[in-house]
Amino acid sequence: MLRSMYEPIRLPRRVYGADHDDPDPGPRPGRAYRELVGGPLDGLLLDVTGWSAAALAEGAALPTEIGAYGAGGRALYTPRPGASGKWDWTGDTP
pLDDT in tens, 66-91: 999 999 999 999 999 999 899 999 99
Decide if 51 is inside a domain: yes
d(CA 66, CA 34): 20
For 21-25, 27-31, 88-92, which range has the lowest pLDDT when averaged over its residues?
A: 21-25
Decide if 25 is inside a domain: no
Given a cut of 60, whether residue 2 has pLDDT beyond it is: no
pLDDT digits (tens, 9 = 90+) for 38-72: 999 999 999 999 999 999 999 999 999 999 999 99
Q: Map residue 88 onto helix, strand or coil.
A: strand
Q: What is the pTM of this model?
A: 0.85
Q: How many domains, in total, are found in the chain?
A: 1
Decide if 83 is inside a domain: yes
Contact in structure between 63 and 49 (CB atoms under 8 Å): no
Residues 13-33 have a mean pLDDT of 92
Decide if 27 is inside a domain: no
